[in-house]
């Protein structure tokens, strides 16, 4: 028994000597090796909407003039034609009720964005449950800007504010 143990110990020592540890790389199915580069002054924001017609945040913050990268996710399950959601950042002073009425009249062919977006700073696509969209835009001048979902009837509950602060000098 003792000699068997010594033999096994010698074999393990022989086979483990001289090995150099190898760096293991994780494999991501469907991934890409190209890395996305984001500017260091870019504000990265995330927002989601659900089947209960609620945004997960009521306020977002940014710095004037700096790029914003916003990812919007519809975390619900209901399809777009019944419970579509989007993120629409309105120009300062836009009347939300009037805009929402115009959006409802514009309909699905315009993705519920009226007047070719004349009162809109930025918006995502209209999304159904489980979908997401990412947009990039420059933050407007310092101020408080309303954001809504422009799907008919949603803007009364799905609204918030982007607070844009002056850039530090």
DSSP 3-72: HHHHHHHHHHHHHHTTPPP-------TT--SPPPP--TTPEEEEEEE-TTS-BS-SEEEEETTSEEEEEE
Half-sphere exposure (CA, 13 Å, Cβ side) for 137?
16
Q: Where are the domains positioned within the chain?
A: 43-165
Contact 120, 89 (CB under 8 A): yes
Q: pLDDT tens digits, residue range 33-92?
A: 333 445 578 999 999 999 999 999 999 999 999 999 999 999 999 999 999 999 999 999
pTM of the model: 0.77
Structure tokens at 138: 């420059």
User: Is CATH 1.20.1050.10 the right assignment for the domain spanning 43-165?
Assistant: no
Q: pLDDT tens digits, residue range 15-34?
A: 444 444 444 444 344 333 33
Instruction: Look at strands 88-90 and 143-148 and give their pairing.
Output: antiparallel
DSSP 131-166: -EEEEEEE--SSEEEEEE--STTTTTTSEEEEEEEP
Quote the pLDDT of residue 23: 43
Q: Is the pLDDT of residue 118 over 80?
A: yes
């Amino acid at each position: 028994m003792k000699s068997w143990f010594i033999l096994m110990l010698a074999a393990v020592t022989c086979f483990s000597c001289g090995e150099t540890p190898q760096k293991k790389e994780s494999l991501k199915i469907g991934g890409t090796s190209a890395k996305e580069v984001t500017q260091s002054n870019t504000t990265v924001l995330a927002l989601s909407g659900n089947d209960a017609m609620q945004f997960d945040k009521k306020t977002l913050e940014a710095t004037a003039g700096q790029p914003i990268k916003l990812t919007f996710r519809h975390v619900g399950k209901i399809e777009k034609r019944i419970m579509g959601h989007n993120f629409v950042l309105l120009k300062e002073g836009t009347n939300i009720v009037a805009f929402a009425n115009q959006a409802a009249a514009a309909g699905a062919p315009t993705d519920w964005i009226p007047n070719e977006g004349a009162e809109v700073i930025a918006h995502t696509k209209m999304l159904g449950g489980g979908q997401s969209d990412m947009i990039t835009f420059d933050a407007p001048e310092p101020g408080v800007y309303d954001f809504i979902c422009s799907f008919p009837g949603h803007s009364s509950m799905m609204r918030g504010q982007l607070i844009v602060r002056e850039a530090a000098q």
